[in-house]
Structure formats: C-alpha cells, structure tokens
Structure 1
Amino acid sequence: MKGLMPRDGRVGGGWLTLFAVAWLAVWTVQLTPVQLLLPLQLDTPGGENDWITGVIWSGLILSVGGMAGVIAGPLAGLLSDRTRSRWGRRRPWAIGGSVLSAASLVLTGTVSEPLAVGAAWVGVSIGVAVVSAALTAMIADQVFAQRGTASAFVSSAQAVGIVVGVGAVVLLGLSVAASYIMLAGLILVIGVGTAVLLPDPQPASTRKIAKENWRERMGALQDRSFVWVLASRLTVNIGNALGTALLLFFLLYGVGSPAATAEDDLLLLIVIYTIFVVAASLIAGSLSDRTGKRKPIVIIAALIQALSAVMILISPTFIGTAIAAAVMGVGYGAYMAVSLALATDLLPKASHHARDLGIVNVSASLGQLLGPLLGAGLVALVGGFWLLFLAAGILSVLGAVMTLGVRPAAALPQPHRAAH
C-alpha cells in the first residue's frame, strides 16, 4: 500500500485504478437492480393489463431506499470523520458498507412481494450510501491536483457499472435470484478488497476533536455556493432519473418493443449511453483540472442533458431514443464529473470532508431515487410518457440555472490546505 500513497497532492495510476474499480462495484450493485432487476420483480403485479401498478411500485421502493441512503450517507460520513482506529478512518466504513450491501442483495433476491422487496432494498441502499461516503471522502483527503480526473472516474464507473451488471444478467441468462447473488459476490470481493488496498492515512493532527459551535457544525453548508451546487446536483439528477430509471417500461409501453427483445434493446441503449458518459466525463474532468474553470462546463453539460429529453419528445422511437441516449451521456457524464470536483473545491475544513461529501453524494443519489417516484406519478397522470420527458428537460435546465449562483474558490486547493 505504500506505493499507492499520494505525493505532493497527486496520486498515481495504481490509486486511480483501484478507486475506479471500487466505484465500478458500487454502481453495478446499485444500478443493475434499478435498471433491470427491480422492474422485472415488480412488473405487472396486478396482471398484464395493470402495468402502471408495476411502475408505481418501482417508484415507491426506489424512493424509500433513497430516503434511507439520505440519512445513512451523511451520518456514516460524520462518524468516519471522527473515527480513529488502527485500520484508518474510511476503511472500516467501506468494509462494513460492502458487507451490509452484499447481505441485503441476497435477501432482495429471495423475496417477491413488493413490500418485502422494498424492505430488503433499504438495506442495499444504506450499505451503498456508507461505502460511497467513505470512497468520496478519499478524494478530498488525498487528491488535490487531480480532483476533476478522480471525479471523472466516479461518473465513468457509474455508466460502466450499468453495462457490466445488465450485460452480465442478459448475456448469461441469469435468473433474478442468481443475478442478486452475483451482485452480492461482486461488492463483497471488490468492495472489501479495494478498501483494504487503498491507503487511508490518518489526518495530520491526531488530537481529540474539539467541541464545535452550531455554526462550525454546519461545515460547508454555511457556503451559499456549496448549497447551490447541492441544489443543482439534486435537480439535474432528478431530470436524469426521469429519463433513465423507467426506461424498460418506456421501451415496453412507450416505444412498443416486444417483450422478448425489450431487455436486449435496453442493454443496447445502456451501452450507447455508457460510451458517451465515459468519454465526456474523462474529457471534461481533465479539462476542468487544466483550466481551473469548472462552472461553465457544469452549466453547458446540464443544458446538453436537457436537449436529450427534447429529442425523445420529438421522436419517441427506438432510433430517436438511441440518439438521445448518446446526447444524454455527454451531458450527464460531463456534469457529474465536474460538479463533484466543484463541490470538493468548496469544502472549508478537512475534519468534515466525509460528512460534507456524504451530503454531496446524497444530493445525487436522492435525485436518482426520487426521480422514479416522480416519474411514476407523471406516467400514471397522463397514461403515457410525454410528461415524463418534458419534466426531465425542464429540471435539467433549472439545474443549469442554479449553477449560476455558484461563486467558485479563487484557486484550486493545494495539498497543504488539507491539514487545516
């Protein structure tokens, strides 16, 4: 692990590779059920003529899980900031979250009733939130000159994770139960393994943390710019979730894809989306590191995502959806990479890194998990999908407008600032 330790605010290829692999596992186990397994479990619980009921159950379950993650992420971050152990600060939480995720995934695959599925999924959401809080804090703890690049690995892994998970299920012909077992093994092995291998240095000061007044406890939430970033990430992620989380239902009942080929069509769209997310996030993240200008990239990226929703409204066909998936990938990939780096630049105090970044994670995760609930309501309201994509476009534009309120730090953080 010594060879992986950062030097002068920079990390090497080995650190970035392990970090990316860890996030790949996290996103795979979180998004494969969201995109495929949960809709399969919950589709038409009232019969083939009652497909909207399945949409509503999916939205409710994902949103309840999201609320659990909202609580667990910042709480785990706060506790990890205060953890002082021979194993480090972040590592114990990353390992514990991985184990909880694995156990909950196995349980989710053994039940079929919507309420039971929802209860098991809450455990998955909590476990993933805990791991995510620990991993994201490592960016603020150890990375300074490459924050845009490191953040790009997070968003790239999100897109690749969907392909890995859905691809494995579809191409291997796995049952729902077998798919959950596969995901549980993935997070158990990779989550624990990368947590052990990634360095987790103790903070520069090992003194007992002094009591803070209420204003100090607010941390980055005192910064209006930080709050605008949170609001923008929540809004843009709701817009993204409206366009992606109910995609299998859209293919079946909006585009009219045959049930026998709908899963294959879904996989193809995900692959297209992924290619553009990865390319856009890496390019945008690197560009923001070189120029130090993150805010303009974030605004443009959110507007590009809005354009993809307009394209589907104009052409709600499989070809039109495929082109829109590419455009959405460009916008979302660039947005997520650079907005995370922008939020990290605004953190005022190293002792609050994990808690503050846990809140940043929540702003995105909550958006992704509130989106299906809102989307289910919009679909049920009009008996179709046009209002869903209209709302997705409007929210993406609103997220871009919110970013105008951000006043970035005058300069990118330097390594010595971490000890403050």
Structure 2
Amino acid sequence: MERAANTEGETRQPSPVSRVFMGLYALAQIGGFIAFVPMLNILLPLKAGAIDPAGKAILLSQVSLWGALAAGLANLAAGALSDGTRGRFGRRRPWIVVGTLAVVAAHGLVFAADSMVALLAGFLLFQLTVNIMFGPLNAILPDMVPDRQKGLVSALAGLAPPAAGLFAGFGVAVLLTGLGSRFGVVAAAILLLILPFALWVREPKAGSPAGERGPLISFVALRDHDYLMAFLSRLFVQVTMTLNVLYLLFYLQEVAVFGDRFAGRSPESILGWLLAAGTLAALAAGMAGGVLSDRLGRRRVFVMAGGLAMAAGAGLMALAPEWPGPLAAQILFGAGLGLYSTVDIALVAEVLPDRNRAGRDLGLMNVAITVPQVIAPLLGLLLLAEAGRGLPWLFAASSLFGLAGALIVMRIRRVR
C-alpha cells in the first residue's frame, strides 16, 4: 500500500509514488468523472424529457441551475473539511468513500424521480455528494505526489474526462437502451473504479495545520495573482464545456441536419458516436500534451491551445449544423478538451499558494467548475426562454467563453 512521507515541514516533498498508485489514482479519477459526465450529458436530459417532453430544455436549465448552486457550496466546504480531518483513516479517504456511496444513492433518486420537485431533490443530493467525493480525491495529488511526478500523474488523471466521455458515448448512449440499465451501469462503474483506490491508499499522518485553523470557507487564495488567473481561465473554459454537455442532445434533436444518413437511429445513439469521436481525439491530444508539457517544461501554451480548440469547436456547432459539421466540431472540441484538461491539472497544482491548505484551495478552484453550471443554464434560460433565440446562439456564446479562458491563462507568471 502506498504511503507518502510525513510532510509537516512546509517545503518537504512527498515521497515518490509507485506505478500502482498512479494506475489506481487514474482509475479513481475516471470513476469520479463517470459520476457526473453521463448524468449531465445523457441521464439528466433524458429524465427531464420523460417528465416534461414539451418543456424539457427549460426544466433541464432550472434543475441544473439549483444543482450548481448546491455544488458550489459543497466544493468550498468539502476541501476545507478534509483539510481539518484527523484520524486513523487519513484526511481524504473517509470523505472519498462516503461521498462515493452517497453519489450512487443519488443516482437512484434521480432515476426514481417522477416530477420536477423529485428530480430537483435528487439532483441537489447528487451535486452535493459528487463534490464531497471529488474535492478530497483531487487533493490527493498535491498531498502525496512530488513535483517531479506531478506532470505524469496529471497526464494520467487528465485522461479521465475523455475516458468518461467514451464510457458515456458507447457504454451508456449506444450499447444500452433502457433508462434503468443506464443508471445501473453508471452506478456500478463509480463503485468499481473509485473504491479500490480509496481503500488501498494510505495517507501520510497529518499534524495540525501551520498556524491557527482557518475558516471553513475562505477565498484568500484568490489574492494570489497566478491562482486567480488559473481560476478565471478554468471558469470561462468550463462554461464552454458545460454548455456543450447540457445542450448537445437537444441540438441533435432540434438543430442538426442529417438528411437520410441516420434513418432509424435515435438522437441518443448519434450523440454516443459523436462523444466517442470527441473522446478519441481528447485521448490523443491529452496524452501528447501531457508528455510534451513535461519535456518542454511549459504549461500555459498547451492550456491556451486547448481552450482555443474548444472555442473553435463550439463556433463550428453554431455555424455548421449540417452533417458532417457536428462531427468535425465535436472532434475539434474533444481534442481541445483533452489537451486543456490534462495540462491544466498540472498547472493548477503548481500555482496553489499554500500546500498545507491544498484541500481548501482546490475546493475553491473547483468552484470554477460549479459556477459555470450556474452560468450555463442561466444563459439557456436567457437565450431560449427570454430572448427567443435558438440553440446555435448558445453555442456561439460558448465559443466566446472558451476564447476568453484560453487567453487569460497566458497572464500566469510563476508557471511557463
């Protein structure tokens, strides 16, 4: 079992981690993304459509908005709580295990929902629990991985978003048809991928944090210039990603023009193939970017390139709805997502202002993932319901957010 050096000293590096640690941690990260990618991409939109076929886009926007608000609070609290946890099982492991079991239960509640109120209650629990699990899981990297291995471990962890996309595309959307079997397979995958790492790993003994224990929720890290730039970059790019996740299925149902190419195929099946194509592009770009960023000692240019590719893909969705425009757009978007996600993990780990407060600061950084889950449905409500605009306008707005996020990252100073 993997143990890290006790790092009570401010600057002492953790011991090197083994290949077993890297493999199990990468699988746990994939499980963490599977906990929410199929839900946001496929399961929640389908459930919203089953409850209110006529108003599914508005219902999805409303439920997503309230869920994102709950997720933001959970993100802020979970990291700080795990920072302060002391016991024989470590700081992070108890939260990872409990959060994993709870998020599986939340999937069951979302599946059983038969009204807007029930769907909202299930999704609120889902957002709370997935962030209770995911925040401490992310904090393992700065806790236990030395700087010289962060690039490699981040590259492996960066495969999680595209791998989860592939799982959602093939495993959930294409190979499975019933809603019950889709929820069941996702729940089983979460347990099988996360729990082995959480039960196997052994954290270093943690003493009391240096100085007085800070407040549960703190925004002090945002005073650090580089941390703030990384936060803003992630926030804007995540808006781009969230809009693609939430509205891609409805785009295929209502906007995309296929002619007779896919006669007899459901929109979910076409979505699955698109996600698979984007995922393969993401895997290739992510691995190449992770390795090259380590060898060249540069992070920012790769993160910027990933954001620009995502912006270009979203713009193509707005401008070219006729096939093969959506395919080209999702391949380009996927490549950008893989490149951005992989290298951004390493970049964020290097700009954390206080290693002793890694859980708290990563929890705050993860708010840059949950806030877009508020912004995206608000944009959906504004453009679809209030302004009467169509889905292409949403993807055009998505492109602008991606462009902004790509450019902001170049203002970081401490990391090349």
> TM-score higher than 0.5 here?
yes
Deviation at 1:35, TM superposition (A): 1.0
1:366 counterpart residue number: 371
- Whole-Å separation in 1 of the counterparts to 2:276 and 2:168: 11
Deviation at 1:124, TM superposition (A): 1.3
In the alignment, is residue 322 of structure 1 matched against residue 323 of structure 2? no
Aligned match for 2:406, one of 394, 400, 405: 400
- Whole-Å separation in 1 of the counterparts to 2:205 and 2:21: 17
* Amino acid aligned to 2:191: L
- Whole-Å separation in 2 of the counterparts to 1:9 and 1:292: 21
* Amino acid aligned to 1:235: F
1:299 counterpart residue number: 304
In the alignment, is residue 234 of structure 1 matched against residue 235 of structure 2? yes
Aligned match for 2:47, one of 25, 41, 47: 41
- Whole-Å separation in 2 of the counterparts to 1:272 and 1:133: 29
SS at match of 2:298: coil
Further displaced range: 158-167 or 367-376 = 367-376
**1:56–1:377 Cα contact (<8 Å) kept:** no
SS at match of 2:414: coil
Aligned match for 2:63, one of 57, 61, 64: 61
Instruction: State the Cα deviation string for residues 11-42 of structure 1 (Å, max 9, x = none).
Output: 33211211111111121121112111111111
1:199 counterpart residue number: 202
**2:315–2:395 Cα contact (<8 Å) kept:** yes
In the alignment, is residue 15 of structure 1 matched against residue 21 of structure 2? yes
Deviation at 1:44, TM superposition (A): 6.9
- Whole-Å separation in 2 of the counterparts to 1:14 and 1:353: 23
- Whole-Å separation in 2 of the counterparts to 1:180 and 1:353: 33
In the alignment, is residue 279 of structure 1 matched against residue 284 of structure 2? yes
- Whole-Å separation in 1 of the counterparts to 2:299 and 2:367: 21
Instruction: State the Cα deviation string for residues 361-391 of structure 1 (Å, max 9, x = none).
Output: 2212432563244234323434422211211
In the alignment, is residue 108 of structure 1 matched against residue 114 of structure 2? no
Instruction: State the Cα deviation string for residues 181-212 of structure 1 (Å, max 9, x = none).
Output: 33223323432222111232224xx2465316
* Amino acid aligned to 1:177: G
Instruction: State the Cα deviation string for residues 138-166 of structure 1 (Å, max 9, x = none).
Output: 11112221323322333321121132134
**1:146–1:289 Cα contact (<8 Å) kept:** no
**2:4–2:16 Cα contact (<8 Å) kept:** no
2:271 counterpart residue number: 266
**1:107–1:120 Cα contact (<8 Å) kept:** yes
* Inter-CA distance 407–371: structure 2 relative to 1 (3 Å threshold): same
* Amino acid aligned to 2:115: E
1:417 counterpart residue number: none
In the alignment, is residue 385 of structure 1 matched against residue 391 of structure 2? yes
**1:23–1:154 Cα contact (<8 Å) kept:** yes
**1:74–1:354 Cα contact (<8 Å) kept:** no
Aligned match for 2:149, one of 143, 146, 155: 146
**1:67–1:366 Cα contact (<8 Å) kept:** yes
SS at match of 1:341: helix
**1:246–1:372 Cα contact (<8 Å) kept:** no
* Amino acid aligned to 1:392: S
2:9 counterpart residue number: none
* Amino acid aligned to 1:320: G
SS at match of 1:317: coil
**2:100–2:191 Cα contact (<8 Å) kept:** yes
**1:56–1:373 Cα contact (<8 Å) kept:** no
Deviation at 1:242, TM superposition (A): 1.9
- Whole-Å separation in 1 of the counterparts to 2:76 and 2:134: 10
- Whole-Å separation in 1 of the counterparts to 2:345 and 2:379: 24
* Amino acid aligned to 1:175: G
* Inter-CA distance 16–373: structure 2 relative to 1 (3 Å threshold): farther
For the aligned residue pairs, the C-alpha RMSD in angstroms reads 2.4
In the alignment, is residue 165 of structure 1 matched against residue 168 of structure 2? yes
Matches within 5 A, 1:249-264: 249-256=250-257, 260-264=265-269
Instruction: State the Cα deviation string for residues 206-264 of structure 1 (Å, max 9, x = none).
Output: 246531678x9655322011111111111111012223321110001001567842111
- Whole-Å separation in 1 of the counterparts to 2:327 and 2:303: 23
- Whole-Å separation in 2 of the counterparts to 1:131 and 1:284: 27
Structure 2 unaligned residues grouped into runs of 5+: 6-12
Deviation at 1:46, TM superposition (A): 4.9
- Whole-Å separation in 1 of the counterparts to 2:297 and 2:396: 33
Further displaced range: 256-265 or 288-297 = 256-265
- Whole-Å separation in 2 of the counterparts to 1:77 and 1:40: 32
1:78 counterpart residue number: 80
SS at match of 1:357: helix
Deviation at 1:94, TM superposition (A): 0.3
**1:77–1:354 Cα contact (<8 Å) kept:** yes
- Whole-Å separation in 2 of the counterparts to 1:159 and 1:393: 20
Further displaced range: 352-361 or 396-405 = 396-405
* Amino acid aligned to 1:230: F
- Whole-Å separation in 2 of the counterparts to 1:237 and 1:69: 14
Aligned match for 1:343, one of 343, 348, 351: 348
Identity %: 27
* Amino acid aligned to 1:85: G
In the alignment, is residue 181 of structure 1 matched against residue 187 of structure 2? no
